[in-house]
Structure 1
Amino acid sequence: MQKKALALLSGGLDSTLAVKVMLDQGIAVEALNFTSPFCTCTSKNAGCKSEAVRVAEEFGIPIKVMHKGLDYLEIVGNPRHGYGKGMNPCIDCRIFLLTKAREYMQASGAHFVITGEVLGQRPMSQRRDTLRVIERESGLEGLLLRPLSAKHFAPTIPEQEGWVDRDRLLAIQGRSRKEQMQLAEDLDVKNYPCPAGGCLLTEVSFVPKVKDVFDHSDSLNLRDFRLIKLGRHFRIGDRTKVIVGRDEAENNLLESAVQAGEATLRWEEGSSPLTVVTGKQDEALLEKAAKILLRYTKAEPDTECIIKAIVDGSEKQLKVKKDYSEAIVEGLRIG
């Protein structure tokens, strides 16, 4: 009977190669892709999600897309194994993904799980010791095969049972991508978009925005974390945040994301970025938000300006003086 592998497929080079190596051995493969509000590959065209779907279609294999939900956000906020250089809970994240894969494995009819992990490639989650921890705590001991680095580890059950030919697996290690790129050429794998997809949680400059959401939210939701990738963010109250668009594309995205009870602000007398006020609002807070907005317009300093505010479809005008200094605005800025 043909054996089946469940593959974690990001759409990047390594996971694509892992799938190809299995297919070339006659293993049936189903792909599992996870979306995250923190993926650096995510773009207007859905980034790595669409790349994973493209790869699956190219290889003729089924794919299931799962969303990292609130249970994942709880891990980001309090990881058992700690953070990397930023706010990245890489070890806990891998355990989370592989636990989900193990749970789905039986339903999919798969016999084991494969990933594109390479020994020593990532400093936190792909060390030999942490790879063992991840395998053990995800409940996949013996059933987690890493085809690109398999020869650096003891044989897994698929290898021991002869489902997979160990001699045709790889012994890649380290951070260089030269071997993977050569393997891609050898296996005729083309059009891979991002050899090393990334996570915004590893970026130190991004951490203050993430921490701000955790510190100032009554309850967590994915939308708040998606929004931190758009615009300039300012904290003007314990439960009030201001987001100022940086260009027309961001203005449009912010406008489409506005929810009931949130306010939008624009300067009426000239070109202006869209400003969104989330959370608690009153006249004083809206005026504060408007002063921040004026910093990013060509209004003359110390002049009184008309700001159009819309809340739940109701429009009103605010008369606000442009008198916030650069230091005041930057003091309110998050990150």
Structure 2
Amino acid sequence: MKRKALALLSGGLDSTLAVKLMLDLGIDVEALNFTSPFCTCTGKNAGCKSEAVRVAEEFQIPIKVMSKGLDYLEVVRNPRHGYGKGINPCIDCRIYLLRKAKEYMAESGADFVFTGEVLGQRPMSQRRDAMRVIERESGLEDLLLRPLSAHFLPPTLPEREGWIDREKLLAIRGRSRKDQIQLADEMDVRNYPCPAGGCLLTELSFVPKVRDIFDHSDELKLRDCRLLKIGRHFRIGARTKVIIGRNEADNNLLENVMQTGETAITWMDGNTPAGVIIGDQDPAGIGLAARILLRYTKAEQSGACRVKVRRNGAEEIITVANDLNETAVTPYLIA
């Protein structure tokens, strides 16, 4: 009887190799890919979702893409197993993903789950003790196979029952990807744009932005987290924030994501970054946001400047002083 397994497929090197290995061993594979507002894994003009879909199409296997939802944001805010060096709840994140995979097993008809995890590769979630915790708390104990490091781990049910030939599984560990790159050549696996993956939650510079959302939101929203990737963020009120583009790409993104009730601001008399005010709005806050915006233009210092204010289809021109230098702006800057 041919067995079926669910693969956690990011589109990166390790998970791609794991899928190829299992297919070569005669396992029927379906892939799961999880999207997150905190992912930094990008190839040429594509993110992890696109890479995972590309890999699935190349291997001719079905793939289901799931979004990490609001329940995931609660995991980030209150992780049971704590954070890594940033605000990354890596152990809780793996448990979250694998619980979702377990829930999907019955629908897909899969017999077990496998991942591209490598023992010792990631300092928080891929330690031996952490792996055991993840297996137990995800509900996948004995049904979670890590084929790239299988020989360093106890045999799982699929191995003991002969669904998988354990002797054909691998013994890779550690942070170097030399073995994986060599294996990719041997298995004719090409075009892996994201060998290491990445998560903004591990970046120390990103921590203040996430903390600011947790501290100033009545309810968490995925959109608020997605916006963290765009521009400079300034907290100008308990429920008011302004985002100012760093470049033309940011300016275009801010224009495209702006919602009803939010305010766009631009300097009238020269090239300027775009600004969007989010949250509670009042004339004083709009004036402060405009002054912060002018700090990042070539407007004459201390001069009076015209700023276009656009909200809900209506426009007006306000005049504010360009009187904030870097020192004055810094207390408002989140990151």
TM-score class normalised by the smaller sequence = over 0.9
Q: What residue in structure 2 maps to residue 276 of structure 1? A: 276
Q: What residue in structure 1 maps to residue 82 of structure 2? A: 82
Query: Do residues 135 (structure 1) and 135 (structure 2) align?
Result: yes
- How far does residue 218 in structure 1 lie from its aligned partner after superposition? 1.1
Q: Secondary structure in 2 aligned to 1:148? A: helix
Which AA in structure 1 matches 2:92?
D
Q: Secondary structure in 1 aligned to 2:113? A: strand
Taking the aligned partners of 1:66 and 1:163, their CA distance within structure 2 comes to 27
Equivalences, count = 335
Q: Normalising by the residue count of structure 1, what TM-score does the alignment of the two structures yield?
A: 0.99
Which AA in structure 2 matches 1:152?
F
Q: What residue in structure 2 maps to residue 328 of structure 1? A: 328
Q: Secondary structure in 2 aligned to 1:235? A: strand
- How far does residue 154 in structure 1 lie from its aligned partner after superposition? 1.1
Q: What residue in structure 2 maps to residue 93 of structure 1? A: 93
Q: Is the CA contact (8 Å cut-off) linking 2:43 and 2:51 kept in structure 1?
A: no
Q: What residue in structure 2 maps to residue 288 of structure 1? A: 288
Which AA in structure 2 matches 1:303?
G
Taking the aligned partners of 1:200 and 1:298, their CA distance within structure 2 comes to 31
Q: Secondary structure in 2 aligned to 1:195? A: coil
Which AA in structure 1 matches 2:48?
C
Taking the aligned partners of 2:74 and 2:261, their CA distance within structure 1 comes to 26
Which AA in structure 2 matches 1:22?
M
Taking the aligned partners of 2:103 and 2:157, their CA distance within structure 1 comes to 18
Listed as ranges, the gaps of 5+ residues in structure 1 are none
- How far does residue 45 in structure 1 lie from its aligned partner after superposition? 4.0
Q: What residue in structure 2 maps to residue 145 of structure 1? A: 145
Listed as ranges, the gaps of 5+ residues in structure 2 are none
Instruction: Identify which range, 325-334 or 51-60, moves more after superposition.
Output: 325-334
Which AA in structure 2 matches 1:5?
A
Q: What residue in structure 2 maps to residue 224 of structure 1? A: 224
Identical-residue share of aligned pairs (%): 71
Which AA in structure 2 matches 1:194?
C
Alignment of 1:176-255 (within 5 A): 176-255=176-255
Deviations 1:117-149 (A, max 9, x none): 000000000000000000000000110000000
Q: Secondary structure in 1 aligned to 2:276? A: strand
Q: What residue in structure 2 maps to residue 266 of structure 1? A: 266
Taking the aligned partners of 1:186 and 1:42, their CA distance within structure 2 comes to 25
- How far does residue 304 in structure 1 lie from its aligned partner after superposition? 0.6
Query: Do residues 36 (structure 1) and 36 (structure 2) align?
Result: yes
Q: What residue in structure 1 maps to residue 318 of structure 2? A: 318
Q: What residue in structure 1 maps to residue 73 of structure 2? A: 73
- How far does residue 101 in structure 1 lie from its aligned partner after superposition? 0.3
Deviations 1:280-299 (A, max 9, x none): 11111000000000011111
Q: Secondary structure in 2 aligned to 1:53? A: helix
- How far does residue 42 in structure 1 lie from its aligned partner after superposition? 4.7
Q: Normalising by the residue count of structure 2, what TM-score does the alignment of the two structures yield?
A: 0.99
- How far does residue 327 in structure 1 lie from its aligned partner after superposition? 0.3
List 4+ stretches of structure 1 deviating above 2 A.
42-46
Call closer, same or farther: CA 1:75–1:114 in 2, change over 3 Å.
Answer: same
- How far does residue 46 in structure 1 lie from its aligned partner after superposition? 4.3
Taking the aligned partners of 1:192 and 1:327, their CA distance within structure 2 comes to 44
Q: What residue in structure 2 maps to residue 117 of structure 1? A: 117
Taking the aligned partners of 2:185 and 2:61, their CA distance within structure 1 comes to 21
Deviations 1:181-203 (A, max 9, x none): 11111111111111100100000
